[in-house]
């Protein structure tokens, strides 16, 4: 399939076949896609909780809005996207050291420039805790988009879930003590035969209403 075919065939799963598990090699591919996701100034302000067993699903279930709970229990894997609160010094140093290790910063001058540039943009978006969380959340949603498209490309169904109680999720996973905050949830798996959404035509506004060419 080409990318247009993938975009046209992808849909939001409403019901999963809980008997089907995603093979480990495909999960590894999707985790690699998440790891490789782009972010502003390569900030990578995220952490992902990967849930693949009933005990862990049941643990987070009280945080999931009732009409979304069956998506979690029926999924093969559920991923809780988290952001760092705050984006602290340790993370910035870790990023810089990793970039140097990966060969992106061959000189001291480049390393200093990268560090200063990133800190500048982090500071610009950190006037308040809320503004920093908003900025980091945008990065997490870039990763979410990558995941949803990549999953469709390898034949895996998915659902992005905002219908959950973030404060409850943070409490269940003890995220505050880890300097994290949940931002969105995604479920992955294989559609159930009775998933009516799989058989409905995709509906999108026509391109004439969406694009302005200058």
In a domain, 31, yes or no: yes
> Cβ distance 152 to 33 under 8 Å?
no
My answer on whether 103 and 60 are in the same domain is no
pLDDT in tens, 123-167: 999 999 999 999 999 999 999 999 999 999 999 999 999 999 999
Indicate the residue among 71, 99, 125 that finishes a domain.
125
My answer on whether 7 and 109 are in the same domain is no
Q: In this model, does residue 1 exceed pLDDT 90?
A: no
In a domain, 135, yes or no: yes
My answer on whether 21 and 45 are in the same domain is yes
In a domain, 207, yes or no: no
* Residue entry with tokens 């003890």: 174
Q: Label residue 199 exposed, middle or buried (CB < 10 Å: 0-12, 13-18, 19+).
A: exposed
My answer on whether 80 and 162 are in the same domain is yes
Instruction: Give the per-residue SS3 of the chain.
Output: CCHHHHHHHCCECCCECCCCCCCHHHHHHHHHHHHCCCCHHHCCCEEEEEECCHHHHHHHHHHECHHHHHHHHHCCEEEEEEEECCCCHHHHHHHHHHHHHCCCCCCHHHHHHHHHHHHHHHHHCCCCHHHHHHHHHHHHHHHHHHHHHHHHHCCCEEEEECCECHHHHHHHCCCHHHCEEEEEEEEEECECCCCHHHHCCCCCCCHHHCCCCC
Indicate the residue among 125, 149, 176 that finishes a domain.
125
My answer on whether 116 and 37 are in the same domain is no
Going by C-alpha positions, the residue among 37, 43, 40, 39 that lies closest to residue 79 is 37
State residue 94's pLDDT score.
98
Indicate the residue among 102, 125, 148 that finishes a domain.
125
Q: In this model, does residue 45 exceed pLDDT 90?
A: yes
In a domain, 214, yes or no: no
Q: In this model, does residue 95 exceed pLDDT 90?
A: yes
Going by C-alpha positions, the residue among 97, 1, 7 that lies closest to residue 44 is 97
My answer on whether 189 and 106 are in the same domain is no
Half-sphere exposure of 127 (CA within 13 A, CB side): 3
In a domain, 205, yes or no: no
| Average pLDDT of the residues in 75-97 | 98
My answer on whether 110 and 51 are in the same domain is no
Q: Label residue 133 exposed, middle or buried (CB < 10 Å: 0-12, 13-18, 19+).
A: buried
State residue 121's pLDDT score.
97
Q: In this model, does residue 8 exceed pLDDT 90?
A: yes
pLDDT in tens, 155-193: 999 999 999 999 999 999 999 999 999 999 999 999 999
In a domain, 96, yes or no: yes
Q: In this model, does residue 214 exceed pLDDT 90?
A: yes
> Which structural domain, as residue segments, surrounds residue 161?
3-87+128-198
State residue 104's pLDDT score.
97
My answer on whether 92 and 188 are in the same domain is no
In a domain, 187, yes or no: yes
In a domain, 203, yes or no: no
My answer on whether 10 and 112 are in the same domain is no
Q: How far apart are CA 160 and CA 166, in angstroms?
A: 14
The average confidence (pLDDT) of the chain is 98
My answer on whether 118 and 12 are in the same domain is no
My answer on whether 30 and 117 are in the same domain is no
> Cβ distance 94 to 204 under 8 Å?
no
- Residues linked to residue 160 through DSSP beta bridges, in sequence order: 186
The domain total for the chain is 2
Active site residues: 14, 71, 162
State residue 196's pLDDT score.
95
My answer on whether 52 and 117 are in the same domain is no
pLDDT in tens, 105-125: 999 999 999 999 999 999 999
């Amino acid at each position: 399939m080409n990318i247009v075919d993938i975009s046209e065939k992808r849909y939001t799963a409403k019901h999963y076949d809980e008997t089907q598990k995603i093979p480990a090699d495909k999960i590894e591919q999707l985790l690699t896609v998440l790891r490789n996701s782009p972010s502003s100034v390569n900030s990578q302000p995220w952490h992902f909780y990967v849930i693949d067993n009933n005990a862990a699903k049941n643990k987070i279930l009280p945080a999931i809005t009732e009409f979304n709970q069956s998506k979690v229990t029926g999924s093969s894997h559920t991923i809780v996207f988290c952001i760092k609160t705050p984006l602290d010094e340790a993370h910035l140093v870790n990023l810089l050291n990793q970039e140097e290790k990966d060969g992106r910063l061959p000189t001291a001058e480049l390393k200093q420039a990268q560090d200063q540039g990133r800190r500048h943009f982090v500071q610009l978006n950190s006037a308040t805790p809320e503004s920093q969380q908003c900025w980091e959340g945008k990065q997490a949603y870039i990763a979410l988009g990558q995941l949803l498209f990549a999953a469709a490309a390898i034949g895996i169904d998915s659902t992005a879930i905002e219908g959950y109680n973030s404060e409850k999720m943070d409490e269940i996973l003890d995220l505050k003590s880890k300097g994290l905050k949940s931002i969105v949830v995604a479920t992955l798996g294989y559609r159930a035969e009775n998933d009516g959404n799989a058989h409905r035509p995709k509906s999108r506004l026509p391109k004439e209403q969406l694009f302005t060419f200058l």
